[in-house]
Amino acid sequence: GSRSAVTGGGAISRASGKLRGKLLRIAARLSEVPDEDLELAEGLIRRKTDGTRLMPIKDLAQRILMRPGGLPPDEEPGLDMTAHYEPPPSTHANASHVATVEVDIETGQITLLRYIVVEDCGTIINPMVVDGQIQGGVAQGIGTAMYEHAIYDENGQFLTGTLMDYLIPTAVDVPQVEIGHIESPSPHTPHGIKGVGEGGAIAPPAAIANAVADALSSFGVRVNEIPLTPERVLTMLDRAKSG
């Protein structure tokens, strides 16, 4: 989301760091190796200097949980850690969008021919999730640009209160988004994570509206409002024809 990986990931990272420190301290006591010379890697506790394997992490965890009486006196039993993290402002992604559209001047219908996004959400944790969120965010933005419209009558009565009247894009209306990634880690968050959500959802209205404006530029149409419904596109064309 826009803040989920940053906020939740930051708290998880801090809690994990605390737990890592506890495991290394106890392992150091048991192995009589300084904890600064130990590391957790590949499911093992091993020496940094020569890679000597000391014990599996699962065996140490079992000992901490099942035999807490054998722990050093200054270590509490259990493997639970709590941490809090408050992210700085503006930890969202950056992205550039390009839309190619076709406009039917007889019906006002807009067809999306191609859609490209290049985004930067910092360190990518799960590429599949990132791509899925960009695709879903673009779908949301297409709805904003072309379909979703809250309409009221002159008495303030809401006229688009159901999905029969308030249109949203369907699978046939949303193209497969072509996605590229730039990975520049944030210097302000743990692991350089940025929230990916804004990278997909914010830009489609501007990209699509500009593409429509370019398509209709020879008619002198000025595109300055959304959603670009067929009725609104035809009204823009009529307005341009009448001067």
Catalytic position from the list 32, 39, 198, 225: 198
In the block, tokens 């099942």 appear at 66
Handedness of CA 27, 30, 36, 41 (dihedral sign): negative
Q: Is 198 a catalytic residue?
A: yes
How would DSSP label each residue in 167-234?
Answer: ----TTTSPPPEEEE-----TTSGGGB-B-HHHHHSSHHHHHHHHHHHHTGGGT-----S---HHHHH
Buried b (16+ CB within 10 A) or exposed e, 86-104: ebeeebbbebebebbbebe
Instruction: Please list the active-site residues.
Output: 198
